Structure 1
């Protein structure tokens, strides 16, 4: 029974690994605990590593690591690493699994609907309201996202600029992230987009924000364990696709819902009216 439960759990990648470790948390040896901490810290980076590299980082033998993988219910390192790859986000994963049905419009629609349904039912109305309230009360909003997430971060900036006086996507092109981190101050709120293949500097930037006791709102996959630990409020979004590329429909939908909640606040109607008037003067 335990084996079958583990296999169901493995379908959710990093979140599944965390659940397995949690199940034996009070029964681990010191070496196993080092391994567990190392694995959770590495997260989806394990998809690109060998068992020897992981055991070396945990300062344990490869034999001990192999026994621990089996104890967690995996068939071995290859099995564990394989469960990380869908969360890792490489387009090759989708190409390897591609079938003749990929590209079919009905399948594509079904997957997008599933992503939206799981995302919007997985985020409580209370969390959405808290996120909106936090952004409304911010003195400044700083939005951060790298790689593919940068496009979503840019869209978040476009929406929130309509609703708030001081919104910026960081880092500004060509500028170091260190300067943006140093400039964070009380009253700021950080909105982070961390979908797939995020560099370590995103986690480090969010940690700096938390050290300054700033609220951090995070959009990421449910399996982004390390990032979600740093955030004060997580809005998990699904990115599954029947093809080789991730879907970001749910992420954009969450941003639109969040902006819609903020737009219900006092003074927003007058602000949007004024922006529309200025567009007529400046942008046409």
Structure 2
């Protein structure tokens, strides 16, 4: 599906609104496309059958049926065959190639100026609030842990068992929200982004390509490809980006970051919180 997704991404900015709505669905749910015929897809997306036909012809297919078959063929190629020879041979190489491909697309698509501005915002913000729902939560949690090593006032929201509204209400233009929004986002996600936009709170959006329809409301959008061979998305590019961001924050504010790391390590020692015994033996 990667080539078809890339075609959609290349054409996206030129698409009319109805075709863009259809493209948003395909990019957000590529695994579902083979399940629909053109009538069902049009009804599901709230567009006409003619819109479906126009979009697939724009992508170089003679018809929707031809495009759907191409999706089906690619889907079949991506499903691992569970047998000893396949698992021990080609599957590992294919998986590695896909991971490397995601990383190349991530770093090939990063704009240096955009990245520099986002990192400067991470350094200068009074407070950094990191938000991630569902599959985005582990990425958000890891980013918060990394950033908290090198700057003060970094927190996750909402806290367990709490609602988000009261935490968003107290944010201002001198704060920064890092919003992790990978596909299969909850329905409230666009509303959260709109609310922050209305408040004038800067937002750094970390998301896959399915977020392009709402990304304009973020101050910065860093796209992380999640393509995988099978049903579950690969988050290596997202985790690599969190590592890059944290390291850039540290190195562009090295004195303050180093002081904080030293202070944290001192606390580790004072309360004997972490085991530094490399042999793994009990004390």
Q: TM-score range by the shorter chain?
A: 0.7 to 0.9
Bigger Cα displacement from structure 2, 233-242 vs 43-52: 43-52
**Superposed counterparts of 1:27-176, under 5 Å:** 35-36=18-19, 38-39=21-22, 44=28, 47=32, 62-69=48-55, 72-73=58-59, 97-99=79-81, 101=86, 104-176=91-163
Residue 164 of structure 1: CA displacement? 2.0
Mark the CA change 1:274 to 1:18 in structure 2 (over 3 Å): closer, same or farther. same
Q: Do the aligned partners of 2:126 and 2:153 also contact (CA within 8 Å) in 1?
A: yes
| Matched residue, 2:277 | none
Once the two structures are superposed, residues 111-156 of structure 1 have per-residue CA deviations (whole angstroms, 9 ceiling, x without a partner) of 2222222212221333222211011010111111111110110001
| Structure 2 spans left out of the alignment, 5+ residues | 275-283
Residue 234 of structure 1: CA displacement? 1.4
| Matched residue, 1:229 | 216
Mark the CA change 1:228 to 1:13 in structure 2 (over 3 Å): closer, same or farther. farther
Q: Give the root-mean-square deviation of aligned CA atoms.
A: 3.3
Tell me the number of residue pairs that the alignment of Structure 1 and Structure 2 aligns: 259
Q: Do the aligned partners of 1:192 and 1:218 also contact (CA within 8 Å) in 2?
A: yes
Distance of 1:84 and 1:204 partners within structure 2: 31
Bigger Cα displacement from structure 2, 250-259 vs 232-241: 232-241
Mark the CA change 1:110 to 1:36 in structure 2 (over 3 Å): closer, same or farther. closer
| Matched residue, 1:247 | 234
Once the two structures are superposed, residues 42-64 of structure 1 have per-residue CA deviations (whole angstroms, 9 ceiling, x without a partner) of 5626947776576568876x454
The counterpart of 2:9, out of the listed 15, 23, 36, is: 15
Residue 218 of structure 1: CA displacement? 1.4
Q: Do the aligned partners of 2:114 and 2:220 also contact (CA within 8 Å) in 1?
A: yes
Distance of 1:161 and 1:279 partners within structure 2: 14
Residue 171 of structure 1: CA displacement? 1.4
